[in-house]
Amino acid sequence: GNSVTQMEGPVTLSEEAFLTINCTYTATGYPSLFWYVQYPGEGLQLLLKATKADDKGSNKGFEATYRKETTSFHLEKGSVQVSDSAVYFCALKGYSTLTFGKGTMLLVSP
Amino acid sequence: EAGVAQSPRYKIIEKRQSVAFWCNPISGHATLYWYQQILGQGPKLLIQFQNNGVVDDSQLPKDRFSAERLKGVDSTLKIQPAKLEDSAVYLCASSPGLVITATNTGELFFGEGSRLTVL
């Protein structure tokens, strides 16, 4: 079946540091891939997505590239801000819905 | 545009009691999902509706969980009787796409969730 594996958190960074959150997946075929973010006290919201191999999704300074050869979709940001503190979920779309990873908490200090 | 509404936000009950959660999706969204998110884990799909029909309920513990979406709009998820391991956040999400169409982008719009604590 489909599955998503994310690096364990929390990831603790200082403001303006470089961020990488690793995500790998197992799936049949070529699923669409997503990163969702959950800010404190809020619901999950879509951050970015990629629908085919070598696509790069980007939003709010975050990027992730769909790598078919390594079955990965790592999330990166060049310079994090305190407001980026949240839980980040990698997900893949199967036939009809999403399968999520366990989430990675990011804590950014001033 | 109003988002996905859920209630109650918090509920504390004792084991073997019952509880119900309500969800009102974004207007016009055909597909509605209930997810269970246990602390430290990612959301797990419980049930998926397209309009008022069930598309997937394979991971719903049917001996204690039930859900309905009678008029194809809002939905109720019920747990009876509750167990300690049901303590979790219950997330409702909706999507404008139909399940089997190629235009289903996979983007889900989530509510803030209902946090259940079973003592």
Asked if residue B109 has pLDDT above 80, the reply is: yes
- Binned at pLDDT 50, 70 and 90, residue B99 comes out as low
What's the pLDDT score for residue A97? 77
What's the pLDDT score for residue B70? 82
- Binned at pLDDT 50, 70 and 90, residue B19 comes out as very high
Residues of A in contact with B45 (CB under 8 A): 97-99
A103 inside 8 A of chain B by CB: yes
Residues of B in contact with A89 (CB under 8 A): 42-43
- Binned at pLDDT 50, 70 and 90, residue B103 comes out as very low
What does B28-86 look like in DSSP terms, one character per residue? T--EEEEEEE-TTS--EEEEEEETTEEEE-TTS-TTTEEEE-TTSS-EEEEESS--GGG
A34 inside 8 A of chain B by CB: yes
Calpha distance A103→A3 (Å, rounded): 13
Chain B nearest C-alpha distance from A103 (Å): 6
What does A30-43 look like in DSSP terms, one character per residue? --EEEEEEE-TTS-
Encoded tokens for B25: 């999706």
- Binned at pLDDT 50, 70 and 90, residue B98 comes out as confident
What's the pLDDT score for residue A14? 97
B108 inside 8 A of chain A by CB: yes
Calpha distance A101→A94 (Å, rounded): 14
pLDDT digits (tens, 9 = 90+) for A17-72: 999 999 999 998 888 999 999 998 888 999 999 988 999 999 999 999 999 999 99
pLDDT digits (tens, 9 = 90+) for B46-84: 999 998 899 889 999 999 999 999 888 999 999 999 999
Helix (H, G, I), strand (E, B) or coil at A70: coil
Backbone angles phi, psi at B85, to 5 degrees: -75, -5
